[in-house]
A and B are shown apart, each in its own frame.
Chain A
Amino acid sequence: MGSIQRPDPGEMDRIFRTKREWHKEQASLSMKEKVRILLSMQRADYPLLKRQRRLEWWEKPWEIEP
């Protein structure tokens, strides 16, 4: 088996830098926007979680606005 080809280290640095920047951007969103995302995540996850395991009574999407 030949040697495994690796990506250019500079390209990997760029990818990881972009990833870090994305996390920072998401972190800098307003709290209201983050809560809006959280509510949307809860609604999307709920049917999947319910299929995977028995949920606690409180593990359900919050019925509020951001």
Chain B
Amino acid sequence: MATMRDVFEVLNELKRDGVVEDYAVGGGMAFVFYVETIRTYDIDVFVFLPPQDGPIIQMTPLYADLKRRGFEPHREHVMIHGVPVQFLPSYNELVDDAIKTSQPIEYEGVEVRVVRPEHLIALALQTGGEIRRERVNLLTTATDVDEEVVRELLKRYEIAT
């Protein structure tokens, strides 16, 4: 049976092969790297896709490549080794920043790029919702979050708290 390591390995292969320019794990799974286990049923992966023709970014090349690797896309997710992964092309400057500043964290010998806690907080507050606010509370309670960085992000991206 496949392991979580195999799933993360696919993300690195996509980057190595130039299918994505860069990636960072975000959402609930990123929180799990920093806090206690929280419920999540998919893995959100923010990506920079290679330049394309036209103003609108297309997911088709990424999905086609994943299909060739044996991972079938189904609507907004791709099942990778039995885990639903949602690839999200960077949709604003905060996400750009979250990908660029993401940090490598080792998982069973594989380096996974994960959004930093301060950016997770800013993203959660930007998106909003009760569950995300709970996650922010968990992060600030259980980890050493740089509050100055969080304040600066909230100000720079005009995120109301």
Interface residues, chain A, CB within 8 Å of chain B? 20, 23-24, 26-27, 29, 31-32, 34-35, 37-38, 41-42, 45, 56-60, 62-66
Q: A58: which of B7, B35, B77, B138 is its contact (CB, 8 Å)?
A: B77
Chain B interface SS verdict (over half): mixed
Q: Out of B37, B81, B82, name the residue touching A37 (CB < 8 Å).
A: B37
| Contact across chains for B4 and A35 when beta carbons are under 8 A apart | yes
From the candidates B4, B42, B142, name the one contacting A64 in the complex (CB within 8 A): B4
With both beta carbons as reference points, the residue of chain A lying nearest to B106 in the complex is identified as A31
Closest 10 pairs between A and B when the two form their complex, measured CB to CB: A26-B36, A58-B84, A63-B82, A27-B142, A37-B37, A59-B41, A34-B37, A23-B142, A65-B3, A27-B35
Most buried by A among B81, B82, B105, B138: B82
Residues of B within 8 A of A (CB): 1-4, 6-7, 32-37, 39-42, 74-75, 77, 79, 81-84, 105, 107-108, 138, 141-143
Q: Are B83 and A38 in contact (CB under 8 A)?
A: no
Closest to A41 in B: B39
* Cα of A66 to Cα of B82 in the assembled complex, Å: 12
The CA-CA distance from A53 to B77 in the complex, in Å, is: 20
